[in-house]
Amino acid sequence: MAPANDNPNLELGDIQSPILRRRPAPYLGCHVLFHFTDAAQGREFIRRLLPHVVSAADYASSETWAAVAITFSGLQALGVPKASLDTFPIAFQQGMAARVGELETGDSVPEKWEHPYGTGQIHVALTLLSISEQKFQDKLNLACQQLQELPGVQMLCREDFAQVAGGRTPFGYKDGISFPNICGNGASPIVSPEEPVAAGEFVLGYPGDCGRAIPLPQPDILGRNGTFTGFRKLHSHVALFRQFLQANAAAPGGEELLAAKMVGRWPSGAPLMLSPEQDSPELGSDLQQVNNFLYGEDPVGSKCPVGAHIRRMNPRDTELAVMTNVRLHRIIRHGTAYGAPLPPGVLQDDGQSRGIFFIFLSATAPDTYEFLKREWIQNGNFLGLSTQRDPIAAWHDGNETFTVPARWPVRRRIPMMESFTRTLGGEYGFMPSLSALRWISELQ
């Protein structure tokens, strides 16, 4: 366990803000993917971006935020020396498409991803985000003007997003609630009784959990204060989800309760652990309470099922059968919703694209994500749930169930016949420090 007083002096002015800061709300913005055909122009592009990349130290005083992640092929295209490239983790070097084939199925396999995902063409992912439409447009126009002078920097695609009312996902549930309490990062605005996580689990160059040293890409100026990230575009089958709830609710009007059991929270964000019988919008908006709970008092899942989505993705103090140190598997999540919500009550798919861009960060993000996907989403052994999978994020083939405890030991076992989330694409990236971005821009 990382001691609670192990608070390193984090170099906030050198660390990109998404690594240590929650996104603002309400937000709007875009993710833009770029490809370089000319290394020198690519480095010039990075140099021009630098003044707009917001550090964790400057986050509170900014109205528009820019964050940059570079893929392994992007580092190659920018001319990073091979001696440095060889020091990056193998999972990052190979890329997401090459790594997750066995973890996807059906329409989610990399061969069916949207272009340009999985092609190796993505070199840089730029996120622009603002709480002001005008500020966002001003920053976007400035970026477009600069690109006109750099023909060797090609925009592959632009993905717009905006937070809907209540900060909810297409499935109708408040998102972006939890954020790890990181040693040395100061008091989180979201109160949580969980043990703080060592800074090195999220920021390269600092001690990790139990003092472990996570290898640093070389030279030090390239790796220190950076982290790894993953970007996944996910389509939400909202109509199918609603049909499932209607077909499997225990009583008329019980769809919302069943959905809350699957997610682990009510639509407002109120957790089942604190409000097991009904939604509580007041609780859902209270940063002092909305994340202020553990699972130890509910070992069998009478309040929050052991297999609920949020409990699987962060078991907290749930007694685990295997792989018991949850701090080694924590990630920072920065999901953003895209597409117009399906109107309330509609049970038929309208053919529109909607879902989330699932962005995750940690010092070991590629390996950690693959672990979570394989062991915590697609498998239930760590919770003693055998073959039961995550009810929201996993793929389902009708050969497993979702268990909802009632009066213990009487339980409901609901066959999981449908998958509600489809992967449309993704990639791994490296989110360098501001010093590293400058170092890259100055390569010859």
How far apart are the C-alpha atoms of 242 and 248, rounded to whole Å? 10
Is 372 part of any domain? yes
**Chain position carrying tokens 């998958």:** 419
Domain membership of residue 330 as a residue range: 1-245+299-444
Is 132 part of any domain? yes
Is 274 part of any domain? no
The DSSP 8-state label assigned to residue 210 in this structure reads: G
In this structure, what token pair is assigned to residue 21? Answer: 């800061």
pLDDT: which is higher, 147 or 104: 104
pLDDT mean over 278-291? 94
Is 219 part of any domain? yes
Helix and strand counts by DSSP (H, E) for the chain:
13, 11
Q: Which of 2-16, 310-324, 366-380 has the lowest mean pLDDT?
A: 2-16
pLDDT in the model for residue 410: 57
Is 321 part of any domain? yes
In this prediction, residue 9 has a pLDDT band, given cuts at 50, 70 and 90, of very high
pLDDT tens digits for range 48-63: 999 999 999 998 888 8
pTM given for the model: 0.94
- Helix (H, G, I), strand (E, B), or coil: what is residue 332? strand
How far apart are the C-alpha atoms of 399 and 218, rounded to whole Å? 46
pLDDT in the model for residue 335: 87
Q: Does 407 have pLDDT greater than 70?
A: no
In this prediction, residue 8 has a pLDDT band, given cuts at 50, 70 and 90, of very high
Q: Which of 3-7, 185-189, 194-198, 232-236 has the lowest mean pLDDT?
A: 3-7
pLDDT mean over 285-305? 94
pLDDT in the model for residue 406: 73
Is 294 part of any domain? no
- The backbone region for 29, taken as left when phi is positive above 0, alpha when psi lies in -120 to 50, beta otherwise, is left
In this structure, what token pair is assigned to residue 147? Answer: 């690109």
pLDDT: which is higher, 189 or 71: 71
Peptide bond into 391 cis (omega under 30): no
Is 336 part of any domain? yes
pLDDT in the model for residue 187: 65
Is 251 part of any domain? no
Highest mean pLDDT range out of 19-28, 223-232, 315-324? 223-232
In this prediction, residue 148 has a pLDDT band, given cuts at 50, 70 and 90, of confident
In this structure, what token pair is assigned to residue 102? Answer: 């066995």
**Chain position carrying tokens 């959905």:** 259
What is the overall mean pLDDT for the chain? Answer: 92
For residue 352, which amino acid is it?
Answer: Q
- State the greatest distance between any 2 C-alpha atoms of the chain, in Å, as a whole number: 68
- % residues pLDDT > 90 (the chain): 74
pLDDT in the model for residue 321: 80
Q: What would you report as the CA-atom Rg of the chain, rounded to the nearest whole angstrom?
A: 21
Kindly tell me the sign of the dihedral angle through the C-alpha atoms of 209, 102, 358, 215.
positive
pLDDT mean over 135-142? 85
pLDDT mean over 222-247? 97
The total of structural domains in the chain comes to 1
pLDDT tens digits for range 416-426: 988 999 999 99
Beta strands at 332-333 and 28-36: parallel, antiparallel or unpaired: unpaired
Secondary structure of the chain: what % helix, strand, coil (to 5)?
Answer: 30, 20, 50
